[in-house]
Amino acid sequence: MKNRNFLFLLIFLMPWTLSCSRATRSKMYTDTPTSGRIAIAVDESFKPLIDRMLNVFHYTYPDATIDVRYVPEEQAMNDLLFDTIRFAVVGRDLTPYEKYVFDTMGITPRKAKIAKDALCFIVNRANPDSNFSVEQIKKIFEGEISEWRQINPKSKLGRLQVVFDQNRSSNAGMLYRLFIGGNRPFPEWCKAATSNEQVIEYVKKNRNAIGVIGVGWLSDAEDTTHLRFRHEIRVAGISEDSTDYYQPFQAYIATEEYPFVRHIYAISKEARSGLGAGVMAFMARDKGQRIVLKSGLVPATMPVRLVHMRNSHENE
């Protein structure tokens, strides 16, 4: 009789338990593509662009709230993999390890390229040396060049000091993958600040410094802060062959004549059409891509027309 009572109780409770489980899941995810609240993780290199995008998104969809955590790229991906974050913006595609983790979780992440961006090298305004070859940049990070006179024998600036935003950021990660790799550390003349803005401040005050930032911190011609930054430092030209030097202007990023170009990715682990899906769609479609273009970067999903401005003295 006891067993029958237990069986009856179990059968009676099962529908209620399943109902509660469904209700709990429903209560957990009440957001839609244009409403609700989520937290996202974004590499700090892309803060100017993402701030501008989310300002427009919030204005367009007042029932939506996006809480942004600006963190180094590696932390953003760890938060996406192992925390409650459902959406991240980083400067690279998923690694094999990250794909493996998602596979073991039974998750198929959604991803979209939202912009073409670039690493930007900056120097102090008083520094006459503002052009570098890719080979020189490579030797700086491989530990072969540590003095300014190795770049220009006439330089009196002494030892190089290279500064980037944060350890494990998108900027540091790109440099590491290109020039270092393995388990080797950065050379001793390289150090991390706390943000892209702090890199600019450091270079402004130190004549022997080379700063590495995301070009999105300087590219918006209508942003007064960006204009002030550009007057405080010099943007370096980079050459593949030591003949033609290119700065990270929009056109040279689009054609990839500037060597250090990367894509900005939006990655979501939502298995449903929630607010993360809505934000990704906004970033990758017309409104978001127009913001990318106006910010001085290159849209990833809309065609860009490059116009050659002919010099009036050409062919004379």
Average pLDDT over residues 31-36: 92
Least confident of 9-18, 223-232, 267-276: 9-18
How many other C-beta atoms lie within 10 A of the C-beta of residue 189? 18
| Domain residue spans of the chain | 32-116+263-299, 117-261
Q: What is the pTM (predicted TM-score) of this model?
A: 0.85
pLDDT digits (tens, 9 = 90+) for 69-79: 999 999 999 99
Which CATH code, of 2.40.30.10, 3.40.190.10, 3.30.56.10, 2.40.340.10, is assigned to 32-116+263-299? 3.40.190.10
Tell whether the torsion through CA atoms of 149, 150, 153 and 155 is positive or negative: negative
CATH topology agreement for domains 32-116+263-299 and 117-261? yes
pLDDT digits (tens, 9 = 90+) for 279-311: 999 999 999 999 999 999 999 986 565 554 444
- How many whole angstroms separate alpha carbon 275 and alpha carbon 25? 16
Q: Which CATH superfamily is domain 117-261 in?
A: Periplasmic binding protein-like II (3.40.190.10)
pLDDT digits (tens, 9 = 90+) for 124-167: 999 988 899 999 999 999 999 999 999 999 998 899 999 999 99
